[in-house]
A = this chain, B = another copy of it.
């Protein structure tokens, strides 16, 4: 076999839509001596991790924990446990991840009503709430990673009536204001590789008692069955004591644990403010250079900025040059905007003014005619 299994020791600055560079504490957490998943030390660490997740979710939900897979599995866990044949699910769609919600919900046999909005614009909560008189679930993406738009989840919470509100918080958690309980979110999922500043591989998840009571018993997924995971969570979950379900990814949990400690030590409002400031500096700098932002003003995410590729500029060539010359990764656009939009993320430890200035300076070097 000719495979060498060596790897050039190149350090990238991950300014795309995620993963970002991890917090140093998160990287150190990965390399700590590994613990078994039943070790009392691990169980304490998992308890603390769930405590920390409750803080960043803004919830007191006892069922708050990391699903043992990436953010997309969080989406699957949310739907597989709550939707089945006969259930009506209204999904607000203004980007790729809203679309994906429709696909995932439909595979569970739900009747899906997609309420569509133009990509780059926010959802209209009123239109979403009026799409069906009595849905089981209303679902929306808080921070659309595909477009850089922040949707108004709090307004949906006010309008939801008896429906359960299901929110994708992958690109909002630990980066922008998120108040699960205050806003009426009943089921939420996220990922670790955005503003939490941890490598991809876990899906922070929260579900309140009302949604848990309305769940599907024996859902189609064994791996993501919240009834079984209750045992796995033990006292933090159903209080029924821990029982073996699957082997927790202990290194990834140690990393998330360390990152949460770092974030809560800085203080969540300060972390939000840091993301806000970095995004503002970046977005003002881009506009000062005559570049046009893609997301509608007033609804722009600070942690993920979308910018239109200028006419006549080769989108991929610019990204390639940033990577080659400066080890800076930025993202292509999503879906139909693959070559007409760039996505620039300043998330987790990357969310600083200095990094905003660095991206701008690097773009000045590589943009044609600059």
CB-defined contacts of A323 to chain B, threshold 8 Å: 39
Which of chain B's residues has its CB closest to A71's CB?
Answer: B247
Chain B min CB distance to A250 (Å): 6
Chain B min CB distance to A54 (Å): 9
CB-defined contacts of A254 to chain B, threshold 8 Å: 7
Copies in the complex: 2
Chain B min CB distance to A229 (Å): 11
Are the CB atoms of A251 and B30 closer together than 8 Å?
yes
- Chain A's interface size range is 35 or more
Are the CB atoms of A201 and B19 closer together than 8 Å?
no
The CB with the most chain B CB atoms within 10 A, among A31, A32, A247, is that of A247
Are the CB atoms of A71 and B246 closer together than 8 Å?
yes
Residues of A69-119 contacting chain B, CB below 8 A: 69-73, 75-76, 80, 100, 103-104, 107-108
Known: A72-B246, A103-B222; 6 extra A-B contacts, CB below 8 A, are A4-B261, A70-B249, A73-B223, A75-B223, A220-B220, A244-B334
Residues of A10-53 contacting chain B, CB below 8 A: 10-12, 14, 16, 18-19, 21-22, 27-28, 30-39, 41, 44-45, 48, 51-52
Which of B32, B107, B223, B251 lies in contact with A7, CB distance below 8 A?
B32
